[in-house]
Amino acid sequence: MCMTVADASVFIWGKRPEGELITVPAVEAELKDIRARSRLHIYETRVESPTTIALKAARDAAEQTGDIRSLSAADLEVLAKALEYNATLATDDYALQNVALHLGLKIEPIGQPRIKKKRKYVQRCQGCGQRFEGEACPDCGTPARKKKRCMR
């Protein structure tokens, strides 16, 4: 039987993926609507915390792709749990899908289309053009733009 790690979108949209369903406590906490919370139980979803090793691997991967700023703690936990089981990840979050694809995980979109290409985001200084990470360019001191540029 296949295993699927579910993001909140599974319970919000009400579209149950096939196989055994797993999620994390942070996703359970996100479900405020009575219908979504009920679906968690109706779908007989196992709720498990990810290991610290898997969480670190998920965070590292998100930093490498440049998606770390777009992912919540719950997103990182879901990604870590999918990594632990090498499981399909059911989500509509494009940043989460991007990191999962970079990690070689399968994606199952719920209500939105799947991303078409893997992307890697980098920060480039508006002043001197150098690539960097952080709040300001270490070479010239120009503040970082909020949006990173995409490199395929």
Residue-range definition of the domain harbouring residue 33: 3-108
Handedness of CA 138, 142, 148, 150 (dihedral sign): negative
Residue 75 included in any domain: yes
Residue 77 included in any domain: yes
84 and 27 within one domain: yes
Among 48, 47, 64, which Cα is nearest to 56's? Answer: 64
Cβ neighbourhood burial of 109 (10 Å; 0-12, 13-18, 19+): middle
Coil, helix or strand at residue 66: coil
- 45 CB contacts (<8 Å, ≥6 apart)? 6, 21, 22, 23
Per-residue pLDDT, 146 = 54
Q: Is the pLDDT of residue 101 over 90?
A: yes
Percent of the chain with pLDDT over 90: 66
Q: Do residues 96 and 89 lie in contact, with contact meaning Cβ atoms separated by under 8 Å?
A: yes
Among 5, 1, 3, 2, which Cα is nearest to 79's? Answer: 5
Give residue-wise pLDDT tens across range 34-49: 999 999 999 999 999 9
> What CATH number does residue 41 fall under?
3.40.50.1010
Give pTM, 2 decimals.
Answer: 0.80
96 and 65 within one domain: yes
Give residue-wise pLDDT tens across range 71-98: 999 999 999 999 999 999 999 999 999 9
100 and 49 within one domain: yes
Residue 113 included in any domain: no
Q: Do residues 31 and 11 lie in contact, with contact meaning Cβ atoms separated by under 8 Å?
A: yes
- Specify the number of domains making up the chain: 2
H helices present in 23-103, as ranges? 25-30, 34-42, 52-65, 73-85, 94-102
23 phi/psi in degrees, rounded to 5: -145, -175
